[in-house]
Amino acid sequence: MATPLGNSPSEGRRIMSSPRPKGRENAKNILCRNITIYGHCRYEKDGCAYNHDVGSFKSQQTQNESAKKRFNVDSPAFKPLGPMTNGNSSGAKSASISPQAAGAAIFTPKSTSAGTATPPAHPRDTSAEWINNEIPEFVPSGFDPNHLMPSDPASNSNSMNAYDPFLMTSTTVNQFNQSNNQHQTQLNPYAQDTNSLDSAAYFQAANNYSQPLQYHLYAPLGPHRENLLAYQRTAHDFFLPDSLREDLQRKSEATLQTLPNSTLPSQVDHFHSLVPLDINNQKNAALFGYSSWVYKAVSSNDGFTYTLRRLEGFRLTNEQAIRSVQAWKRINNGNVVSVHDAFTTRAFGDSSLILVTDYHPLSKTLAEQHFNQSPGFPGSHSNRLPKQHVPEQILWGYICQIASALKAIHSERLAARLIHPSKILITSKNRIRLNACAILDVTQYDSQRPITDFQLEDLVQLGRLILQIISGTSNATFNISKALEQLARSYSDRLKECIGWLLSSYPPTPSPIPPNDPSSPIVLDIHTIDTFLTGIAPHLASLLDNVLHAEDSLTSSLTRELENGRLFRLLAKLNFILERPEQSPSHPNQLPSQQTAAQQQWSETGERYVIKLFRDYVFHHVDANGAPVLDLAHVLQALNKLDTGCEEKVTLVSRDEQSLFIVSFREVKRAVEAAWTDLMKAGRQAAAAGGRG
Ligand SMILES: Nc1ncnc2c1ncn2[C@@H]1O[C@H](COP(=O)(O)OP(=O)(O)OP(=O)(O)O)[C@@H](O)[C@H]1O
């Protein structure tokens, strides 16, 4: 109902009984709405200048129908569907209303023009149409293997340092022991396709997993970047990138997932709400010597979600064994899943060992990522998919990250002892973490071998892991020499040397010269994690660079949300102030009808009245035909100007068009602050009075 006036001389004056010709304002609106409206606002706050480009909402309502479906401020808020509706907005919806909700009083907006808000008053009003559209359900396709980085052809041995630990030893792969661990294909319980679950009985309510978020509500809409001038922005420029937001939402959805009617114990120590993470119910005791099961669970101590790994049938014979987990609590490394606790329990009806670790929602194992087998048919050759070529840069990324994890672990005089594709998690793009550390320290506590042996075995297992990833399998058919041949054909010599060095770390050969003998030569061919890190230094540098770039892009995404937080706080403040009945002096003993009058009295007197009209100016614009104007650019612009308190004038018209104010944003800001201070004072006084009482 009002527009900014530029620099009007009649600042802050109340012009009584001068109804503003509606036609003039509306004519301006019509003119604007036939062109693309952009805004660029420079404003200052706390001594800092901000540039806030607003809006490119091409409100081409007169042009074509498709323009009506563009994003606008009336876009419905995200609401997860109930489990039974599953994306179907018809019929089933009403059945899901709770009796409490059904009995709730009907909400009536307090605005005098409330009636205009319900049905679209004008054919140009797109909001209702937008909501009622049947939108086909979006089915997330899970983890995209194509996200992998391209191979780096530049990485070859020529670029390495003169000091080269890998070249100081011959590759003695024949010393390598091969174990026959059968890999089992894992299924993701959060995958949309629950048909692949070959053991429905294992999950009594598998269908209840499916509560898809309506990601399509966030699909990027035009206008697209290339249509805009350099200073112009789209609405999406003010929010997190869609991909990042969706990823975070999926993860938080997975974290909050529950499993109703589960036969799992309702309480395991102080953990509740157990949800199994491995849906393949085949027992596999190959790695730990016990069948292991992984659950997500919530701690009633701190409310956080953790992962519980259960070793079925484990009997604790030595108290010291479980205490060995304490040492793992000191490991704080970005490439190790943090270990929190270990205990034994009979909650599952047997004697089980439980290891509590961090929960990383929607993570996959390296086996799931790189060993191509159709889910649901573990080990079935008929379902094997063609092997993927893993780019060398990805492999170096894995090597560097595991080397970093081993450095942290070996420095604490511990050993990972299990570097296996099914026990390494990919928690985000190319980011891996060693999982299941500490378990063998408990289950094989009585093993008398020195820790250095296990540390050397870690290096061997790392070399073997890379070969397994290259050959696309970790099962009995895995052939070291064939994998090395393949490595030589498709990858750089440097990678081959690196793997050869790792594999030759096992078994340790006892030195004929006592280590403390001063006459002993300086031995550079020491297989330690430090030597290894020296050898891969150039790749560590490029990994660091990648990480810094990723951090830059995340920081820039975060900065966009910073502005939104500021505007949200301002909106919250406005809504705290506007139409508060209890601020009316005559409130306590009044009838509801009298209260409405009192509210009005409070809202329509003093500085609050200007704030109320300003709220109308920001949100309740109408065009020449009385249809709501839903222009997010206008809202952003007006709120930013209010926040900085700029001198620009704005005309505010009362709803009955009997009063008209010309005020600057600075004056409205002052009014907001004064009303806010009053509210805080009233709150403090009431608290003090309550304290005295
Ligand atoms: N800390 C964790 N956070 C989130 N998910 C996890 C965590 N640990 C394991 N998972 C998930 O649980 C599932 C099962 O893990 P597990 O280590 O049992 O692998 P597995 O392939 O089933 O191995 P095994 O055959 O030895 O049981 C995997 O899909 C993995 O992504």
* Spacing, Cα 681 to ligand 1 middle (Å): 55
Cα-to-chain-centroid distance, residue 34? 39
At 683, list the tokens: 């709150």
CA of 284 to the centre of ligand 1 (A): 12
Three-state secondary structure call for residue 661: strand
Q: Is 338 part of any known ligand binding site?
A: no
Residue 186: its pLDDT value, please? 38
42 known member of a binding site: no
Q: Which residue has the higher pLDDT, 680 or 593?
A: 680
The residue among 124 and 331 whose pLDDT is bigger is 331
In tens, the pLDDT along 589-647 reads 555 555 555 555 666 678 889 999 999 999 998 888 889 888 888 998 999 999 999 99
Reply yes or no on domain 602-685 having CATH 3.40.50.2000: no
Distance 132 CA to ligand 1 centre (A): 42
Flag whether 299 is marked binding.
no
Q: 294-351 pLDDT, tens per residue?
A: 999 999 999 999 999 999 999 998 889 999 999 999 999 999 999 999 999 999 999 9
Which residues have C-beta within 8 Å of that of residue 297, sequence separation ≥ 6? 268, 271, 272, 273, 274, 275, 305, 306, 307, 308
pLDDT given at position 605: 77
- What interface predicted TM-score (ipTM) does this complex get? 0.98
In this predicted structure, the answer to whether residue 486 has a pLDDT above a threshold of 50 is: yes
Average of per-residue pLDDT across 426-434: 95
43 has a pLDDT exceeding 80: no
Q: Which of 179, 186, 310 to mutate to test the pocket of ligand 1 (most atoms within 8 A of CB)?
A: 186
Q: Is 284 in the pocket of ligand 1 (CB under 6 A)?
A: yes
For residue 190, say whether it is annotated as part of any ligand binding site.
Answer: no
Based on its alpha-carbon atoms, the radius of gyration of the chain, rounded to whole angstroms, reads 33
- Three-class DSSP labels, 90-157: CCHHHHCCCHHHHCCCCCCCCCCCHHHHCCCCCCCCCHHHHHHCCCCCCCCCCCCHHHCCCCCCCCCH
Residue of the nearest CA to atom 23 in ligand 1? 422
User: For the segment 343-378, what is each residue's pLDDT rounded down to a tens digit?
Assistant: 999 999 999 999 999 999 999 999 999 986 554 444
Nearest CA to ligand 1 atom 27: 292
CA of 339 to the centre of ligand 1 (A): 15
Phi and psi angles of residue 287, each rounded to the nearest 5 degrees, phi first: -85, -45
18 annotated as belonging to a binding site for a ligand: no
Is 484 marked as a binding-site residue? Answer: no
420 lines ligand 1 (CB under 6 A): no
| 172 is annotated as contributing to ligand binding | no
Output the pLDDT for position 689: 80
Over residues 77-115, the pLDDT tens digits come to: 444 443 333 333 333 333 344 445 444 554 444 433 333
pLDDT band at 292 (very low <50, low <70, confident <90, very high): very high
309 among the known binding-site residues? yes
What number is the average pLDDT over the span 385-411? 92
Q: Give 424 Cα–ligand 1 centroid separation in angstroms.
A: 9
Q: Is 491 in contact with 470 (CB distance < 8 Å)?
A: yes
For the CA of 292, the nearest atom of ligand 1: 27
**Is 422 annotated in some ligand binding site?**
yes
**Average pLDDT for 30-43:** 34
**Token pair of 452 as six digits:** 């250095």
Residue 125 near residue 626 (C-beta atoms within 8 A): no
Residue 28 in marked binding region: no
Picking from 40-54, 320-334, 605-619, 672-686, which range would have the lowest pLDDT averaged per residue? 40-54
Q: Which helix (H) or strand (E) segment is 663 a member of? A: strand 659-664
Span from the CA of 263 to the centroid of ligand 1 (angstroms): 20
Spacing of C-alpha 616 from chain mean position: 35
Whether 427 lines ligand 1, by a CB cut-off of 6 Å, is no
| Cβ 504 under 6 angstroms from ligand 1 | no
426 CB neighbour count, 10 Å cutoff? 20
pLDDT of residue 150: 40
Q: Could you report the per-residue pLDDT of 500-510, keeping only the tens digit for each?
A: 999 988 655 45
Percentage, residues of the chain above pLDDT 70: 58
Q: Which atom of ligand 1 is nearest to the CA of 286?
A: 26
Mean pLDDT of the chain: 71
Distance between Cα 319 and ligand 1 center (Å): 27
Separation of CA 600 from chain center: 44
pLDDT at 116: 35
* Higher per-residue confidence, 540 vs 227: 540
Atom of ligand 1 nearest to the CA of 293: 18
Q: Using the 8-state DSSP alphabet, how is residue 553 labeled?
A: H
pLDDT given for residue 542 in this prediction: 95
**Predicted local distance difference test score (pLDDT) of residue 667:** 96
pLDDT digits (tens, 9 = 90+) for 135-165: 443 333 443 444 333 444 334 434 444 455 5
**Which protein residue has the closest C-alpha to ligand 1 atom 1?**
359
Measured in degrees and rounded to the nearest 5, phi and psi for residue 378 equal: -60, 135
- Say what the pLDDT of residue 358 is: 97
Q: Is residue 364 part of an annotated ligand binding site?
A: yes
Domain ranges in the chain are: 602-685
Query: Which of 251, 275, 277, 371 for mutating ligand 1's site (highest number of atoms within 8 Å of CB)?
Result: 277
> What six digits make up the tokens of 137?
């359900």
Which atom of ligand 1 is found nearest the CA of 277?
12
Give the residue with greater pLDDT, 123 vs 79: 79
Mean pLDDT (whole number) for 648-655 = 92
Provide the 3-class DSSP secondary structure of residue 87.
Answer: coil
> Which distant-in-sequence residues (6+ apart) come within 8 Å of 259 by Cβ?
203, 205, 208, 209, 273, 274, 275, 276
Give yes or no for residue 424 having a pLDDT over 80.
Answer: yes
| CB distance 58 to ligand 1 below 6 Å | no
Distance 435 CA to ligand 1 centre (A): 8
pLDDT at position 589 is 53
220-251 pLDDT tens trace: 555 666 777 877 777 777 778 888 888 999 99
Task: Considering only residues 397 and 487, tell me which one the structure prediction assigns the higher pLDDT.
Answer: 397
Q: Which atom of ligand 1 is nearest to the CA of 357?
A: 1
- Specify the pLDDT at position 382: 42
Q: What is the mean pLDDT of residues 7-26?
A: 36
Geometric angle at alpha carbon 197, from 192 and 203, rounded to 5°: 95
Instruction: For residues 632 and 620, give the distance between their C-alpha atoms in angstroms, rounded to a whole number.
Output: 12
Atom of ligand 1 nearest to the CA of 188: 29
| pLDDT of the residue at 385 | 58
CA 316, CA 605: separation in Å to the nearest integer?
Answer: 75
What's the whole-model pTM score?
Answer: 0.63
Q: Can the peptide bond before residue 136 be classed as cis, meaning omega within 30 degrees of 0?
A: no
